[in-house]
Amino acid sequence: MSPTLESQAAQETDHSLESSEKWYKIRFRFQDQIFSASAKLQDLQEDEAVMVVTDHGPEPATIVSLGPQLVLEGKLEGLKPSLKIQRRCTSDEQEKFLRLVQKEKEAIAFTSELIRKHELAMKLIKVERYFNGSKIIFYFTAENRVDFRALVKDLVQEFRTRVEMRQVGVRHETKMLGGLGSCGRELCCSSHIDHFAAVSIKMAKEQNLPLNPTKISGICNRLLCCLTYEFPMYKEIRRQMPRCGKIILVNDKALKVIKHNVLEETITVIDPEDRAQVMELPRSIWEPVTQEMQQQSQGKRVRRDKKAPQASEQPAKPRGRQK
């Protein structure tokens, strides 16, 4: 390739990179949920303040890190983030945003005092003000329905804007407040979980976890969200293992399955004639035995279906009384 063609190709490549959009991870408030947003700006740095387009107008946010760039590689073509970075924040907008955060803290103190004054059975969690001042949202928890009409009147009179009260559950409360889990890391709900999946005690049983509420519950006093992470893997491996109580033949010797160890993919068996003999079989031993037993059962089922007598075709008897 000639130098001229090489320079033209390099210019086209640079132009395509400049026109393409990058993905960034952003956060609207400190310890708030992380979102993905796209921008044509190629040189945004961590902790830099930007303006993000939302459904209620531009909102300031902070760059957390560079987001996934799979779209640029064509691996996720057609996938678009829900948010778009418009531009960098000006110095005036950054000062206004700092004042906005301070006003939110003052609103929490003021509203908490009003809640005690009205003797309402509710707990204020978070206050969020729109950057353009069009609305202020109060997040709270309560065990029952709360009549907060008098409280809203006082809030409207104080803040002179639209007021919205949102009741959230204990999981969302923990997500908003944040914290550290028993594993020593940041809570999953406040770091990366976007929506809460259903968690049941069956998941703890399937993973052979102790059914102690203090060990399988989070700081929200609900079952740990991480119980859902490995549950499908446990379920799939346990499905391949012979069931507990089943008799299997290993080296022409009948053994009874009494326990599963999914992580190590081993099973514990005993000799029904001599129960003192307890053995642990690895996957290399129990898997061929299980597959052979499944093939034999399938063969028996096929032969049974072939031997089943076909229903003889007989004329239908007329109903009613025959003369």
Mean pLDDT of the chain: 81
**Looking at residue 7, what is its pLDDT?**
47
Cα 138 from Cα 163, distance rounded (Å): 8
Query: Looking at the chain, which residues constitute the CATH 3.30.300 domain(s)?
Result: 96-168
Residue 302 has pLDDT above 80, yes or no: no
**Looking at residue 40, what is its pLDDT?**
85
Could you tell me which residue, 112 or 320, shows the higher pLDDT? 112
Residue 89 has pLDDT above 80, yes or no: yes
**What would the mean pLDDT of 236-241 be, rounded to a whole number?**
89
To 10 degrees, the CA torsion angle through 66, 67, 70, 72? -60
Cα 151 from Cα 163, distance rounded (Å): 10
**Looking at residue 9, what is its pLDDT?**
44
Task: Give the model's confidence band at 15: pLDDT under 50 very low, under 70 low, under 90 confident, else very high.
Answer: very low
Cα 129 from Cα 110, distance rounded (Å): 14
Evaluated on CA atoms 23, 51, 96, 152, the torsion sign reads negative
In the chain, % of residues over pLDDT 70: 82
Residue 145 has pLDDT above 50, yes or no: yes
Stated as kind and residue range, the H or E segment containing 286 is helix 283-307
CA 58 to chain CA centroid, Å, is 28
**Looking at residue 13, what is its pLDDT?**
42
Q: Of 7-11, 21-25, 46-50, 97-101, which range is least confident?
A: 7-11
Q: Are the C-beta atoms of 63 and 52 separated by less than 8 Å?
A: no
Cα 284 from Cα 180, distance rounded (Å): 40
| CATH fold of 96-168 | GMP Synthetase; Chain A, domain 3 (3.30.300)
- 0.85 surpassed by pTM: no
In the chain, % of residues over pLDDT 90: 24
Pairing of strands 278-281, 123-129: unpaired
Query: What dotted CATH number matches 241-300?
Result: 2.30.30
Give the tens place of pLDDT for each residue, 109-126: 999 999 999 999 999 999
The three-class DSSP label of residue 127 is: strand
Could you tell me which residue, 265 or 314, shows the higher pLDDT? 265
Q: Are the C-beta atoms of 35 and 27 separated by less than 8 Å?
A: yes
Q: What is the number of other CB atoms lying within 10 angstroms of the CB of residue 54?
A: 15
Give the tens place of pLDDT for each residue, 166-224: 998 888 888 888 888 888 888 888 877 877 888 999 999 888 888 888 889 988 889 99
Query: Looking at the chain, which residues constitute the CATH 2.30.30 domain(s)?
Result: 241-300
**What would the mean pLDDT of 266-293 be, rounded to a whole number?**
86
